[in-house]
Amino acid sequence: MRVVIQRVSHASVEIAGEKVANIGKGMLILVGIEESDSQEDVQWLSTKIVNLRIFDDANGVMNLSVKDIDGEILIVSQFTLHAATKKGNRPSYIRAARPETAIPLYEAFIQQTETLLGKKVGTGQFGAMMAVDLCNDGPVTILIDTKEK
């Protein structure tokens, strides 16, 4: 699994012009799943994200997690995170998992993140064309790949 984490002051996702999720201060998580990913990746990654200390403490030091600040999380599936660009100019998405593999892992990732955070998270819709709006706070953007843990 590969994620792009953005610390946000707010973020939302729209599908066909309808806002389906909206969060305040917290994290926008773009998640890409590949065929070789497993429940072990889901567990490791969700734990890492909820405990990642990227929010400022009283001294302005990034020392607090999203859980520490009672922040929110928005999770959006994004298969293009597994784009291969080595050959030519048209990206290949051959490493991205097929829906029959990706959807159960995406849903498990959402559920595990909610369990660890202790509240619901906002989500997009797997496979939908979405418009994601965010205000990156910092900016702070972190890349994590479970293949590099």
Active-site residue (options: 6, 78, 112, 146)? 78
80 is catalytic: yes
Please pick, among 39, 47, 80, 115, the residue that the annotation labels catalytic: 80
Phi-psi map region of 115: left, alpha, beta (phi>0 left; psi -120 to 50 alpha): alpha
**Which listed residue (79, 109, 123, 146) is catalytic?**
79
Contact status, residue 9 vs residue 135, Cβ threshold 8 Å: yes
- Phi-psi label, residue 66: left if phi above 0, alpha if psi -120 to 50, beta otherwise: alpha
The reply to whether 112 belongs to the active site is: no
Question: Catalytic: 79?
Answer: yes
Active site residues: 78-80
